[in-house]
Amino acid sequence: MVFPDATRWAVLAAAAAIAVTAGCGKGAHERPMAGGSPTAPSASVADPRGLPSLGAWAAGRLASDGASLSARDVSFPPRDQAYDFRANSLETKYRDGLRRSPVSSFVDIEGTIVWTQEYLRYRVNLCDHETAIQKVFAQIIGGGVSPTCGNVSGNPSFPPRDQPFDFRQRLEAVYRDQLRRSAVQTFVDVEGDIVWTQEYLRYRVGGCDHFQAVDRVLSQIDGRGIAAVCVTTTVSTTTVPATTTVPGTSTFSYAVSPTERSVAASGGTFSTSVSTNRSDAQWRATTDQSWLSVVSGTTGTGAGTVTYSVGSNGSTSSRVGHVTVSGLSGQFVPAIHTVTQSGASATPVAVISGDTSCFVSTPCQFSGLGSANAATYEWNFGFGISSTSATPVVTYPSNTIQTTFTSIPVTITLVVRNTAGQASATASFTLTLRRNY
């Protein structure tokens, strides 16, 4: 990853510390990757401005922070192998197999592998979602590698996918707003990136080698189900007493409540509350979609409220946008409020089918199932008879037809409504109603 000035060296040094603590050497049983690590810096590389080498920096940081990891922490694979999965196998699958179009991301492939693996390493070693995020973001801004929250042996539990996805979205904000990274192009969207990277790492932690894990993930993408991990062992855990500080406690951190909101297609004005870890924490609120805009609370200090407007959605497809609360300067951990807006309901169209001729005192069958985008049905069969069924059965009484007629035409109408309550045009149907002799 390329960063300006001190930020660049802090991030690279943090990555070196990760390699030292996570045991990033190849095992003898693993097939070597062509070309070795594609991006990992050598531990002997020195900052041309005279800063210590990465290896020395990492070792010093570990010693000073007391952050050396227990041998019982769940081990993750070498970073070059996880990078190969993401940069080659997954990227190629999305581009050539799924025929996906390129999308933009502020987090490059190396960044997503390094920090997703770190987040998951904290999670499987008993850190909760927010604690893991705090620890990872502290590393990104040079705070060093924190201890995990416990020790786990056996096959650990990975977090539910919505939490890594939230982490990955917040990582986008850090790269965009704090590291000032430019967007890069990738064929794998943010959701696919986090879902399949987590699956790859789950298989690796479960005893699969690189190639076995890649094969299992690609098989899942092809819809062939979730394969078993390669080694199943009994899980045992030991918690570590919680600490009151995390490296980088000078960091400003932000939280929003609620963290997500579902909005109808019509849109509207809504708000989310902002809380901070320090009363002097300054922040700003931004959005990432043109249909989503901040009305008030664009900037603030300490606790506050962000009010935002959601435009109407004329498409039948749902859409997602984000309100990001991040720091104005210095080191900060952002918060993201996710807005999911429903698509507009498609226009309903009423269609009637059924008996075109029937006798009084005999059941007549009708159907509105041929209607489009129908959630409710409003039938009128004349003579005060109605129904709300999709497939009504109607029996006209014998006195419906006067004795002077053998048959009469009856106009049947149907109006259907979609899930938004929008009514269709009235459909008409003519029934020939006959008198029994």
In this structure, the answer to whether residues 51 and 12 fall within a common structural domain is yes
Q: Are 65 and 247 in contact (CB under 8 A)?
A: yes
In this structure, the answer to whether residues 169 and 124 fall within a common structural domain is yes
pLDDT at 304 over 80: yes
* Helix ranges restricted to H, 189-232: 190-205, 210-221
pLDDT at 166 over 70: yes
pLDDT at 248: 42
Q: Output 166 or 70, whichever has higher pLDDT.
A: 166
pLDDT at 93 over 70: yes
Specify if 245 maps to a domain: no
Q: Which uninterrupted H or E stretch holds 415?
A: strand 407-417
Amino acid code (one letter) for 366: F
What the block records as the tokens of 44 is 């002997």
Convert 362-391 into a string of H (helix), E (strand) and C (coil).
CEEEEECCCCECCCEEEEEEECCEEECCCC
Q: Are 148 and 96 in contact (CB under 8 A)?
A: no
Q: Are 150 and 156 in contact (CB under 8 A)?
A: no
pLDDT in tens, 310-356: 999 988 888 888 898 888 766 677 788 989 998 888 889 999 999 99
CATH for 430:
2.60.40.10
Prior bond to 258 cis, omega within 30? yes
Question: pLDDT tier at 285 (50, 70, 90 boundaries)?
Answer: very high
pLDDT at 45: 32
E-strand ranges in 241-399 read 252-257, 260-263, 268-276, 282-287, 292-296, 299-301, 304-310, 319-327, 332-333, 335-341, 353-354, 357-359, 363-367, 376-382, 385-387, 393-395
Kindly report the number of other CB atoms within 10 A of residue 342's CB atom.
17
Calculate the average pLDDT of the chain: 79
Between the alpha carbon of residue 293 and those of residues 269, 303, 309, 324, 360, the distances in Å are 10, 20, 5, 11, 62
Write out the residue range of the structural domain in which residue 258 sits.
252-341
In this structure, the answer to whether residues 210 and 329 fall within a common structural domain is no
In this structure, the answer to whether residues 267 and 201 fall within a common structural domain is no
Question: pLDDT tier at 412 (50, 70, 90 boundaries)?
Answer: very high
Specify if 347 maps to a domain: no
What whole-number distance in Å separates Cα of residue 2 and Cα of residue 373?
51
pLDDT in tens, 358-394: 999 999 999 999 999 999 999 999 999 999 999 999 9
Residue 174 backbone class (left: φ over 0; alpha: ψ -120 to 50; beta: rest): alpha
Name the percent of the chain lying above pLDDT 90. Answer: 46
| DSSP structure class, residue 296 | E
Q: Out of 209, 239, 269, pick the residue that ends a domain.
A: 239
pTM metric for this prediction: 0.52
Q: Out of 214, 239, 264, pick the residue that ends a domain.
A: 239
Question: pLDDT tier at 91 (50, 70, 90 boundaries)?
Answer: very high
pLDDT at 398 over 50: yes
Backbone angles phi, psi at 310, to 5 degrees: -115, 120
Q: Out of 197, 218, 239, pick the residue that ends a domain.
A: 239
Q: Are 111 and 183 in contact (CB under 8 A)?
A: no
Over range 304-311, report the average pLDDT.
96
The total of structural domains in the chain comes to 3
Specify if 368 maps to a domain: yes
Which residue is listed with tokens 């984000």? 322
In this structure, the answer to whether residues 227 and 328 fall within a common structural domain is no
